[in-house]
Structure formats: structure tokens, C-alpha cells
């Protein structure tokens, strides 16, 4: 390969890699990039909140059960914020697993 072809291929590779990094950087906010465990827990809580509201609207659960499930989700969110405060705004893997188990319990109650 000639030296010119090598330089051009290298330049193309850098341009492609730079484009991929720029696309990835735009796809996430700084918080999402630096706190992936918190983002996962909070997104799951948000989806679960929507599911509880929808089930209540459709009459699948009583207002009392909806309030109980919302209260449980609120407690999980409070725990997430408190745990993050003690670890420089991050969640440990163990804390994330514990919150996922709690969310699974709320999800099972919602599906009953």
C-alpha cells in the first residue's frame, strides 16, 4: 500500500470513530453517562408509575391499591437518593440489585 493510501485510510478511520463518539455523546446527557445505575433505577420507576396509573384508569386495580403501589415506588426512589448521597452521587451494584428486587415485588403486586 502506498503511503498516501495508508494516510487516507487512517484519516477515514479517525473520522468514523470521531463521528461515533459524537453520536454517542449526543445520545446521553452527562448524568446518564456518569450515573448509569441511577438512570436505570429511575427509568424503571417511571415506567412502573405509568403502568400503575394506567391500571387504575382502566379499573384493573382499586384506588387504594394504586396509592399503596405509588407509596412503595416513592420509598424506593427516596432510598435511591439517600444511597446516592453516601457514594458521591453513585449507586453501588449491590444497591442497584436491592432496588431492582424491590421494584420486582411492586411489579408482581401490580400484576396480581
- Check pLDDT > 70 for residue 17: no
- Check pLDDT > 80 for residue 27: no
What DSSP string describes 35-87?
-HHHHHHHHHHHHHHHHHHHHHHTTSS-HHHHHHHHHHHHHHHHHHHHHHHTT
| More confidently predicted of 11 and 65 | 65
Rounded Cα–Cα distance for residues 38 and 91 (Å):
6
CA gyration radius for the chain?
22
- Stretch 27-34: mean pLDDT, rounded? 79
With cut-offs at 50, 70 and 90, classify the pLDDT of residue 29: confident
User: Which pLDDT belongs to residue 2?
Assistant: 57
pLDDT (tens digit, 9 = 90+) per residue, 47-104?
999 999 999 999 999 999 999 999 999 999 999 999 989 888 889 999 999 999 999 9
User: Length of the chain, please?
Assistant: 112
Amino acid at each position: 500500500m502506498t503511503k498516501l493510501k495508508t494516510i487516507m485510510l487512517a484519516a477515514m478511520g479517525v473520522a468514523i470513530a470521531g463521528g461515533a463518539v459524537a453520536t454517542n455523546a449526543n445520545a446521553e446527557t452527562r448524568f446518564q453517562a456518569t450515573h448509569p445505575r441511577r438512570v436505570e433505577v429511575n427509568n424503571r420507576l417511571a415506567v412502573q408509575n405509568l403502568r400503575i396509573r394506567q391500571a387504575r384508569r382502566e379499573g384493573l386495580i382499586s384506588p387504594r391499591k394504586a396509592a399503596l403501589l405509588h407509596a412503595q415506588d416513592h420509598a424506593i426512589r427516596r432510598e435511591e437518593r439517600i444511597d446516592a448521597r453516601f457514594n458521591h452521587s453513585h449507586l453501588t451494584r449491590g444497591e442497584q440489585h436491592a432496588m431492582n428486587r424491590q421494584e420486582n415485588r411492586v411489579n408482581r403486586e401490580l400484576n396480581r
